[in-house]
Amino acid sequence: MRFLFLAAALAATACGPAAPADAGSIPEYGYQVVHVYPHDPLAFTEGLFYLNGYLYESTGMEGQSSARKVRLETGEVVQKHEVPEQFFGEGIVAWKGKLVQLTWRTEVGFVYDLNTFETRNEFHYPGEGWSMTEDGRRIIMDDGTPQLRFWDPDTLREIGRLTVTANGEPVANLNELEWVKGEIYANIWMTDRIARINAKTGKVVGWIDCTGLLSPSDRVEGQTDVLNGIAYDAEHDRLFVTGKRWPKLFEIRLVRKTGQ
């Protein structure tokens, strides 16, 4: 299932599916918390990005899915579009005044007006939809496999693919994506790790270890789920991360691990 809860997530992390055994040859980064912001603890975060002072977030689960505009400083939802209950909302991306949202297994995506959140149209794609970001020219989409799909942002048609590898081995469970300084950042589902991916080669050029970011006291058994959600404020060079049903969103600064 796409929505394993904390116990399963921690077990999976312990098994280390995110990277090959020789991942030590790839630079490892920890984090320094710069600021902590409130986050809706009921938001099952699937997509996240920062634009013009606000966070835009997509939430999942059938009957609970939405696209929303959120005030960063307070976590207040200032605008919201409810997704029809038969769909499980997934990643979102903005492009030329539009907000594009994926769904999980229904092969249907939605296009909204970025300002009004009114539905403009829907589109279709093969396979699962997990997350999206954009590099200024293309939409970058993933489906939980080691492959990234590249789409024409105007037609929403696929124009290419790239396999993500770490030390020559495919990296599965690519989840929420963000374009950061010419690299693709990707949450690795069921882990506390984020991959930094070379957008031309697909090679992982760094691992970000977010272990311990959300304290045990902030977790609710049976509710708090995995790390998922990356947003980047390019103007002020701020990196934000959160998780599914996390009560907090963190601004972090990357710190190279010693001995790397």
Residue 134: strand pairing partners? 139
Q: Which residues contact 235 (CB under 8 A, 6 or more apart)?
A: none
Q: Which residues contact 191 (CB under 8 A, 6 or more apart)?
A: 9, 12, 13, 16, 17, 18, 173, 226, 227
Residue pair 241/229 in contact (Cβ under 8 Å)? The answer is yes
Chain segment 78-88, per-residue pLDDT in tens: 999 999 999 99
CA atoms of 238 and 37, how far apart (whole Å): 13
Across 64-73, average pLDDT: 97
Domains defined for the chain, CATH in brackets: 6-256 (2.130.10.10)
Residue pair 62/86 in contact (Cβ under 8 Å)? The answer is yes
DSSP calls for 107-144: -EEEEEETTT--EEEEEE-SS---EEEE-SS-EEEE-S
Across 235-246, average pLDDT: 97
**pLDDT-based confidence at residue 222 (cuts at 50, 70, 90):** confident
Chain segment 97-154, per-residue pLDDT in tens: 999 999 999 999 999 999 999 999 999 999 999 999 999 999 999 999 999 999 999 9
Q: What is the pTM of this model?
A: 0.90
Give pLDDT, residue 118.
Answer: 97
Across 52-63, average pLDDT: 96
Across 162-167, average pLDDT: 97
Q: What is the mean pLDDT of the chain?
A: 91
Give pLDDT, residue 18.
Answer: 43
Chain segment 175-186, per-residue pLDDT in tens: 999 999 999 999
DSSP secondary structure code for residue 83 in this structure: P
Angstrom CA distances, 231 to 61, 75, 99, 157, 186, stand at: 21, 14, 15, 24, 11
